[in-house]
Amino acid sequence: MGSRRQSQSVPARSIYFAITRDVLAQVGWTLTVDDDEGGDREWIQVAVNEGSEEDAGFLLLTEDKSKGYVFGTNKGATGFSLAGSVSCSRFKHYVLNDTSIDIEPAAVEFTVDEKEHSILIQCPDWLRYNPLSVPAVAKPKPVAKEVVAPVAKPTFRKAEKPRAIASFDELAEKVSANPEVMDMLNRQERRTINKKMQQHLRK
């Protein structure tokens, strides 16, 4: 990988990639050869996926035959890698540390996943992850709930109607007929009988 100006007249920069034929055979991508008369190119098409957040610092290259970047070389040039460039403006999460100088192409650390047919590249020091490129997820604000104190409900009891106090004559008649009735009388009724009896004895 390396970095260079797109042209002498255009100050914009590109990231340069080169994949050797040995790595191409290991990852299992399809090499397209120009069979047209006079055609002199062969190429692969590659998607450059940017790692962000937990995967920051890595690029994942996968085959994309419809919209991938073209990495190619001259047909039959078996000793040459398939190379291509991606404009820095196409990167969303990565920026160059220094945009004023060219970075000469050099080998970088990578891992080939033969099962997934992908190449995982560890970004070199001159290519920096920009954490501000990932919008912060706003956390929902807690909803305050009004705490209502429990209100004790008053307990109402039905008032009992006071029992009417019988007259002396009624009480005397009941006691004469059944002496045990005296035990069933309330305090007021007993006081009435005793008072009347005392008055009767004084006469």
Q: Which has the minimum average pLDDT: 2-6, 46-50, 57-61, 191-195? A: 191-195
**Tens digits of residue pLDDT in 31-40:** 999 877 667 8
- What tokens appear for 72 in the block? 């190619």
Q: What is the mean pLDDT of residues 162-189?
A: 59
Q: Which of 106, 112, 80, 133 lies closest to 15 in space, CA to CA?
A: 106
Residue 52 or residue 203, greater confidence: 52
- What tokens appear for 158 in the block? 């039905």
| The pLDDT of residue 116 is above 80 | yes
Neighbouring C-alpha atoms within 13 Å toward the C-beta of 184: 8
Domain positions in the chain are 2-133, 168-202
**Tens digits of residue pLDDT in 87-99:** 999 999 999 999 8
> Please, what is the average pLDDT of the chain?
82
Q: Assess contact for 47 and 62: CB atoms under 8 A.
A: yes
What local confidence, expressed as pLDDT, does residue 51 receive? 96
The answer to whether the Cα torsion of 65, 71, 72, 78 is positive or negative is: negative
Say how far apart CA 81 and CA 13 lie, in whole Å: 21
